[in-house]
Amino acid sequence: MTAPKKLFIKTYGCQMNVYDSERMAEALGGEGYVPTDSPDDADMILLNTCHIREKAAEKVYSELGRYKGLKAEKPDLKIGVAGCVAQAEGEEIVRRQPMVDLVVGPQSYHRLPDLLAKAKTGARALDTDFPEEDKFEHLTARPKARRAPAAFLTVQEGCDKFCAFCVVPYTRGAEVSRPVDRVVSEARDLVERGVREITLLGQNVNAYHGVGPEGADWGLARLIRELAKIDGLERIRFTTSHPNDMDDDLIAAHGDCDKLMPYLHLPVQAGSDKILKRMNRQHTAESYLKLIERLRAARPDLHLSGDFIVGFPEETEADFQATLDLVEAVEYGSAFSFKYSTRPGTPAAERAQVPEDEKTERLQRLQSLLTRQQRALQDAMVGRDVSVLFEKPGRTDGQMVGKSEYLHAVHVTGADVAPGDLRRVRVLESGPNSLMGTVL
Ligand code: SAH
Ligand code: SF4
Ligand code: F3S
């Protein structure tokens, strides 16, 4: 018997890339590849890349540079680039790094085994099509390995919103929703393999409109209610949402669907209506705040998370102040904030840019406010009881870590709990990035 070939995948970017990397590993498993944690003993290295900001995209080239020596030592080593940089830059990648054997865009992953076969003949294998066929149909797992208690499940991909700063509509293509029965059967399969929490993924997940069993389209709330019927599935989350696609049914689901967790990532990007308009966000600060009010009316303990961009072209100090005001009004449980990064081919790239030092200064101010808010909300958990889905052992002896319903990391020590257990925990302490508690 020949030794199995080893596959090293490095994943950048969003959760959808995490999901895709799992699917690619499964697809290449069918070709005899087993995963490895180190590029040094790999027969194939696959970088699953992100193009969202300049820094993210540049990382790929520095990482590829590191593999030059490996490739020289092992000429049979295959190096592939997948993900959003592959889609955005295509052949340019091979021009800059001729040692790359294979380039595959996010909509062509099911063609990976064929591309690899082509690469093995010495030909350059490149596929950045948006094919007609459904890649998900061809990306099913075999064998059915046991899974960790929390999993991602892509239900929608691509985006039709065209925010003026964003590459996603170009790298992931137009919005596509997977049919309800496919999603439900994948969810059942995950639960059979030990999963108790599923996070439904989409670049614009709340725009989900998959075809239902009777032929009509279902919205995300209806899909969630259907998934909630699966025995053994305890928790459902979804990300990422656009404020304009938060319909009445989805707001209501936060109040009446027990398995839907009280945590929502709802990016607003900025608090100034002038900037929101120039970003092509199609919502105002006020409409966003009204929406938050309605969500909190449905689920008073809802924890909110957001994304922010500072230093978007033409952002003045007053515009930035409006972002701080909005943050003050909302009180976020967690947040991600970034300096605007010009992306080639997007409308905002052509506009007058805010100086780098101003962006840096604004980001610091925003982040210190967000950190304070996050910490205050987290500290307020002390003395309260939360439900924790335990996921894995912690760093110290006898420690176990899991997630609260609000997505806090929670540690307990010396308790008789195993991964997959869902238990009530009393919060005793609040640390910098996690809570510490005792199982009740
Ligand atoms: N689909 C999601 C998020 C996509 S990307 C949504 O609609 O909100 C994740 C985050 O990256 C965005 O929310 C935005 O805050 C940030 N981002 C996107 N393009 C960016 C750019 N050019 N510069 C800086 N941040 C950016
Ligand atoms: Fe990008 Fe999200 Fe805007 Fe779509 S809605 S263009 S993914 S920021
Ligand atoms: Fe990055 Fe593509 Fe996700 S650009 S954030 S990996 S959709």
Say what the pLDDT of residue 139 is: 74
For atom 6 of ligand 3, the residue with the nearest CA is 50
Say what the pLDDT of residue 142 is: 60
* pLDDT of 303 above 80: yes
Say what the pLDDT of residue 143 is: 63
Rounded to whole angstroms, how far apart are CA atoms 334 and 406?
10
pLDDT tens track for 330-341:
999 999 999 999
pLDDT tens track for 170-212:
999 999 999 999 999 999 999 999 999 999 999 999 999 999 9
Instruction: Please count the structural domains in the chain.
Output: 2
Q: Which ligand ends up closest to the CA of 50?
A: 3
Q: What is the best residue among 50, 84, 157, 242 to mutate for testing ligand 2's pocket, by most ligand atoms within 8 Å of CB?
A: 242
Q: What is the best residue among 172, 203, 288 to mutate for testing ligand 2's pocket, by most ligand atoms within 8 Å of CB?
A: 203
Instruction: Report CA(249)–ligand 1 centroid distance (Å).
Output: 26
pLDDT tens track for 17-29:
999 999 999 889 9
Ligand 1 neighbourhood includes 307 CB (under 6 angstroms): yes
- Would you say residue 395 lies in a domain? yes
CATH number assigned to the domain comprising residue 389 = 2.40.50.140
- Would you say residue 267 lies in a domain? no
For atom 1 of ligand 3, the residue with the nearest CA is 50
- Would you say residue 190 lies in a domain? no
- Would you say residue 192 lies in a domain? no
- Would you say residue 67 lies in a domain? yes
Residue 50 labeled ligand binder = yes
- Would you say residue 405 lies in a domain? yes
Question: Which atom of ligand 2 is nearest to 281's Cα?
Answer: 3
Check if the beta carbon of residue 68 is closer than 8 Å to that of residue 98: no
Q: Percent of the chain beyond pLDDT 70?
A: 99
Find the residues whose C-beta lies inside 6 A of ligand 3: 13-14, 16-17, 50-52, 83-84, 167-168, 171-172, 203
* pLDDT of 308 above 60: yes
CATH number assigned to the domain comprising residue 44 = 3.40.50.12160
Instruction: Report CA(52)–ligand 1 centroid distance (Å).
Output: 7
Say what the pLDDT of residue 434 is: 95
Say what the pLDDT of residue 124 is: 83
Say what the pLDDT of residue 241 is: 98
pLDDT tens track for 53-94:
999 889 999 999 999 999 999 989 999 999 999 999 999 999
Question: Which atom of ligand 2 is nearest to 159's Cα?
Answer: 4
Ligand 2 neighbourhood includes 203 CB (under 6 angstroms): yes
For atom 7 of ligand 3, the residue with the nearest CA is 168
The alpha carbon dihedral of 211, 213, 215, 221 has a sign of negative
Residue 257 labeled ligand binder = no
Ligand 1 neighbourhood includes 107 CB (under 6 angstroms): no
> Which residue, of 127, 151, 185, is where some domain finishes?
127
- Would you say residue 392 lies in a domain? yes
Of 74, 73, 180, 90, the closest CA to residue 128 belongs to 90
pLDDT tens track for 126-146:
999 888 777 887 776 666 788
What's the domain range around 419? 385-439
Ligand 2 neighbourhood includes 242 CB (under 6 angstroms): yes
* pLDDT of 268 above 90: yes
CA neighbours closer than 13 Å in the CB half-sphere of residue 435 = 31
* pLDDT of 287 above 80: yes
Q: Which ligand ends up closest to the CA of 16?
A: 3
Say what the pLDDT of residue 138 is: 75
Contacts with 380 (C-beta within 8 Å, 6 or more apart), sequence order: none
- Would you say residue 261 lies in a domain? no
For atom 3 of ligand 3, the residue with the nearest CA is 14
Ligand 2 neighbourhood includes 166 CB (under 6 angstroms): yes
> Which residue, of 127, 160, 182, is where some domain finishes?
127
Instruction: Report CA(50)–ligand 2 centroid distance (Å).
Output: 14
> Which residue, of 86, 108, 127, is where some domain finishes?
127
